[in-house]
Structure 1
Amino acid sequence: MLQSRLFMNLKGIGISFVPRYFFQINLSKIFNEILKYNTKELEEIQVRVRYYNKINQFFTPTEKEKIGKFPFKKTSYAFDAYEISKYFKDKFLWNKDFNDVKWTFKDPTICKSRPLENNKNNILLKLDKNRHFCFLKDDLIFENKKDIAVFRGAVYQTHRKEFFHSYFNKTFCNIGDTSKEASQYRKNFLSKKEQMGYKFIISLEGNDVASNLKWAMSSNSLVLAPKMTCETWFMEGALKPNYHFALIDNENLAQVIDHFRTYPKEAQEIIHNAHKYIKQFLDKKKEFHIGILVLAKYFYYSKQLDLNELGYEREILELIK
């Protein structure tokens, strides 16, 4: 993880020295590439752009921060945002918040996460993707895995402490706190590969979303998760309980595990649905194009991007309105 983050930082800093003009002159070309998708793909892109950016009225950015300003803090967020924003004019303004967001903004703001309810002004970009968008190949089939549930992570938040209070040291699960602080719930670190040796992987929200949800859903294990309250680019709000993951709480974990031990085919159906859901995020080029359209919509409705000037007003507007 440390090496990958270092590589990301070096790559991001290197790109920041390339004049943005050389990226901006390609925006029309990118729009043209987008319009080459077939009708079904364009419909799917349109749905996702509208999901991430729900703005449909003109507004004025309040922070007055130019997107051409390159920040050197929250680097993983900044570099991911820069990969998209560098294609738009330096003078464009935006409101952004590169924190773990669980609240609703008063004005349209670019961010990584948002609450599931009343989130119109929280406009999602694919940020901190090096950590969150990690999909893994699992060579171990469900039947051959350990017959209990697993979780490893830092236990700072109240909801995680309450969960651990209910289930720590129970025989049907192996859960442990891996934070650096002294903890009654401390257990040894387990790698992602080691956790994939269990039939059931527990996914608990942290400061916003659960950081292990994506890779856990890409495994051949069944994801167990409480009702979700936040979402990111992964569209956690579109996930269906007991269809994409098994719904648990602070009282029913033993019963849920026992049920899927008894009916393993039901577990495998949910795992299959999770894998199918993940496929929409695997096309890197399409992910980039959707990000471009999300920001294009932001700058269009903030009256900064003139689509007519680029010659794509009708076609691109149809995708982002």
Structure 2
Amino acid sequence: MFKSRLFMNLKGISSAFIPRFIFQKNLDKIFNEILKYKDFELEHIATRVNYYNKIKSHFSIENNKVNKIGKLPFKNTSYAYDAYEISKYFKDSFLWNKKFSDVNYIFSNPTICKSRPIKESSNNILLNLDKNRHFVFIKDPLKFKEKKDIAIYRGAVYQEHRKKFFESYFNENFCDIGDTGKHDSLYKKNFLSKKEQSKYKFIISLEGNDVATNLKWAMSSNSLVLSTKMTCETWFMEGKLKANEHFVLINNENLLDTINYFIQHPKQAIEIINNAHNFINQFLNRKKEFHISILVLAKYFYYSDQLKINQKEILQIFQ
């Protein structure tokens, strides 16, 4: 993790010194590239753009909270560099409201952020931020039937909802759950890598301050994801996930029954795992993800009356 974060920081710092005008002159070219997608692809792109950015009318930037997007990102680095990868294609003078941290509340004004409550939150405009930590997928060589018949979880246990979950299940032999946070805890256990955790048939996913950090890679494994009710979402569109179709819904009482059921019904478990993989497939085309990100920000700057867009077809995507 340290090496990957160091590499990310070095890459981010170096890219920040490339003159932004080099990227900005390519924005119309990028719009024209987007319009070359087939109709069904453009429809999917439009659906995602308007899911992340739900603004439907013009608005004014709130002056006391704004930042110029041309500012070099040397704070909140993982968020800032991910945002800079997209914002550098827009004029330095453009302004935005942004919040580079965990967000589990609704803003009063349109604001760029990583996360938001799943309930209606049109002012929280999502970009794929802190990708190095949150947006990770794995290749799992083990089949479901080859894995251990218990559930696994490792993570920091600070929040009350995680503590209550641990109070229910920490000493049970049908699961192996452990607190790996940097604090004194009754639930301390050793760290386990993603590879080690994916040796278990069931991976537990628990929300933290906003979303569950492990959800994306766990859903890309060949293990069955067991998750408590989700309340927040990110670029992964957690609000689109359906219980018992993409993951299995659990609570502080039904974990044992859930594990026993899917041990006895492995075909149903594999069907849910395959559905999870199919959901993930939409995020694997890096070029398309870049184009969607550009459109999310373009829509923000267009409706804040900062960006003029000549291509009518691009404006139609925002409808």
TM-score if structure 2 supplies the norm length? 0.99
* Alignment partners' CA distance in 1, 2:166 and 2:124: 31
Structure 1 residue 71: Cα displacement: 2.9
SS of 1:90's equivalent in the other structure is: coil
Match of 2:314 among 308, 313, 316: 316
Q: Which residue of 1 aligns with 2:12?
A: 12
Letter in 1 for 2:175: C
Q: Which residue of 1 aligns with 2:170?
A: 168
Question: Superposition pairs for residues 64-79 of structure 1, below 5 Å?
Answer: 64-79=66-81
Letter in 2 for 1:234: F
Report the count of equivalent residues.
Answer: 317
Structure 1 residue 242: Cα displacement: 0.4
Question: Superposition pairs for residues 183-202 of structure 1, below 5 Å?
Answer: 183-202=185-204
Q: Which residue of 2 aligns with 1:139?
A: 141
The answer as to whether partners of 2:66 and 2:98 remain within 8 angstroms in 1 is no
Spell out, residue by residue over 1:253-276, the C-alpha distance to the aligned partner (whole angstroms, 9 max, x if none).
011111101101000000000000
* Alignment partners' CA distance in 1, 2:67 and 2:147: 51
Spell out, residue by residue over 1:149-178, the C-alpha distance to the aligned partner (whole angstroms, 9 max, x if none).
000000000000000000002011000001
Structure 1 residue 118: Cα displacement: 2.6
Q: Does 1:32 pair with 2:27? A: no
Q: Which residue of 2 aligns with 1:51?
A: 51
Structure 1 residue 72: Cα displacement: 1.2
Q: Which residue of 1 aligns with 2:218?
A: 216
Q: Which ranges of 4 or more aligned residues in structure 1 deviate by more than 3 Å?
A: none
Deviates more, 1:143-152 or 1:179-188: 179-188
Q: Does 1:114 pair with 2:124? A: no
Match of 1:254 among 243, 253, 256: 256
The answer as to whether partners of 2:58 and 2:305 remain within 8 angstroms in 1 is yes
* Alignment partners' CA distance in 2, 1:165 and 1:207: 19
Letter in 2 for 1:130: N
Structure 1 residue 61: Cα displacement: 1.0
SS of 1:281's equivalent in the other structure is: coil
Letter in 1 for 2:30: I
Structure 1 residue 64: Cα displacement: 3.3
Structure 2's unaligned 5+ residue stretches are: none
* Alignment partners' CA distance in 2, 1:93 and 1:180: 37
* Alignment partners' CA distance in 2, 1:191 and 1:276: 24
* Alignment partners' CA distance in 1, 2:135 and 2:185: 29
Match of 1:243 among 242, 245, 255: 245
Structure 1 residue 70: Cα displacement: 1.7
SS of 1:176's equivalent in the other structure is: strand
* Alignment partners' CA distance in 2, 1:102 and 1:118: 12
Match of 1:265 among 267, 271, 284: 267
SS of 2:120's equivalent in the other structure is: coil
SS of 2:316's equivalent in the other structure is: helix
SS of 1:70's equivalent in the other structure is: coil
SS of 1:123's equivalent in the other structure is: strand
Structure 1's unaligned 5+ residue stretches are: none
Letter in 2 for 1:188: N
Letter in 2 for 1:30: I
Spell out, residue by residue over 1:61-91, the C-alpha distance to the aligned partner (whole angstroms, 9 max, x if none).
1123211112311100000000000000001
